[in-house]
Amino acid sequence: MEKNLRQAQKMEAAGSLAGGIAHDFNNILAAMIGYVNLAMHQLEDQGMARRNLDMVVKASLRARNLIKQILAFSRHSEKEPKPLNISPVVKEAVKLVRASMPSSIEIRQDIISDPGNVLGDPGQIHQIVMNLCTNAGHAMGENAGVLTIEVGLRSLNAAEANLKPDLRPGNYVYIIISDTGHGIEEKLKERIFEPYFTTKESHEGTGLGLAVVHGIVKGMGGDISVSSESGKGTSFTILIPSISQEAAKVPTKEKISLGQGERILFVDDEELLVDVATQMLPRLGYRVTGFTSSREALKSFQENPNGFDLVITDYTMPKMIGTQLAREISKLRPEIPILLCTGFNKDDEAEKYKEFGVRAILLKPLYEHELAEVVRQMLDKGNNNG
């Protein structure tokens, strides 16, 4: 009981930490992404500099997904699983793994293009692969080694399923990630999925990686097992139930929706984000007035209620939070669309914010195409309703 209590306290601490850092981390990430996007537009050629900036944006997507997974791990955010073919997600993750691994490590792939679908979330699959491959990289260090990633379909009969308490006979999509590193001692195997347990140096990891992977796999109704021998490498095998539903088609990249000179009031207590917005939104075809003070923003709106077509506001701000600002603005102009941006909220809270006049919620950090699409939809909907 004492052991379970200690583990529960650790999990609670992890959740508190996640909630505490999510907002600030997402603000920092949002500023970085915003400035990188602006820099990319200022580069006319498609040379190496543009390519490197594009890689920064892709890495930022990893960081955003990491925050989402930490929040899910701490039960501050719930993912809605959907039918998914994991192979494209794994292949994309492996590309990022290759960029972070020393050239002395060979990466071998045996990933079939269509192993069948699972009920899951792409970000969670990405997190599984990145965590396990990062651990494998640490195990091999700078020495020559081989990292192997396999994806396929496996059928378990009754006898095989009985060996796994949470599994039933049937088809399973598998992910196997193996390395030729130093291996795991037998006495440590039963502890590797515990939160905060790590054999790494303090600067190499927190001990949460395998706990997150374990939680994701179990949440998908699957199983994760480890095979290792000290000095002879490690292999993690993940089994996820296969489903018959078809995966949703990935939407094709469409042209960014541009504005027609509409006036936007942008409010965020982070000066860098206001600076990014006052450069980005005009490039998208909008006129923007930015404030770092929600009270000053409200004063400006009170002086000229018809001077804006849309309001974009941060949620967590000093003296007056975003929903309070939205409520005061809605009292003056109930029809004006208000977009709430936040670094930390539950996916199911959008409905309750409607009473404050909020029409939509976006989770930071914001990407240019996402912001452009939502702003255009909100303005068009408002015009149609009008």
**Whether residue 371 has pLDDT greater than 80:** yes
Q: Where are the beta strands (DSSP E) in the chain?
A: 82-84, 105-111, 118-120, 145-156, 170-179, 223-228, 234-241, 263-267, 287-291, 310-314, 338-342, 358-363
Residue the block writes with tokens 């409905």: 351
Architecture in CATH for domain 263-385: 3-Layer(aba) Sandwich (3.40)
When comparing pLDDT for 3 and 328, which is higher? Answer: 328
Give the pair of three-digit tokens for residue 361.
């919620």
- Where exactly are the structural domains of the chain? 79-248, 263-385
Residue 362: helix, strand or coil by DSSP?
A: strand
pLDDT in tens, 147-200: 999 999 999 999 988 888 778 999 999 999 999 998 887 767 666 666 544 544
Is the Cβ–Cβ distance between 28 and 364 less than 8 Å? no
Picking from 355, 356, 309, the residue whose alpha carbon sits closest to that of residue 336 is 309
pLDDT in tens, 117-132: 999 888 889 889 988 9
From CA 128, how far away is CA 271, in angstroms rounded?
Answer: 35
Average pLDDT over residues 349-365: 78
- 11: β partners: none
From CA 66, how far away is CA 74, in angstroms rounded?
Answer: 12
41 Cβ contact list (under 8 Å, min separation 6): 283
Homologous superfamily (CATH) for 79-248? Histidine kinase-like ATPase, C-terminal domain (3.30.565.10)
The share of the chain scoring above pLDDT 90, in percent, equals 35
pTM, two decimal places: 0.54
Task: Tell me the average pLDDT of the chain.
Answer: 81
From CA 286, how far away is CA 182, in angstroms rounded?
Answer: 56
The share of the chain scoring above pLDDT 70, in percent, equals 76
Average pLDDT over residues 204-222: 73
Is the Cβ–Cβ distance between 313 and 326 less than 8 Å? yes
Is the Cβ–Cβ distance between 110 and 153 less than 8 Å? no
pLDDT in tens, 277-320: 998 899 899 999 999 999 999 999 999 999 999 999 998 888 89
Average pLDDT over residues 96-107: 86
**Whether residue 240 has pLDDT greater than 60:** yes
Picking from 260, 331, 319, 315, the residue whose alpha carbon sits closest to that of residue 293 is 319
C-beta neighbour count of 56 within 10 angstroms: 15
Say what the pLDDT of residue 169 is.
Answer: 92
pLDDT in tens, 23-48: 677 777 878 888 887 888 777 666 77
Say what the pLDDT of residue 117 is.
Answer: 93
Q: Output the CA torsion sign for 291, 294, 299, 300.
A: positive
- 342: β partners: 363
Average pLDDT over residues 195-213: 54
Q: Is 318 exposed, middle or buried (0-12, 13-18, 19+ CB in 10 A)?
A: exposed
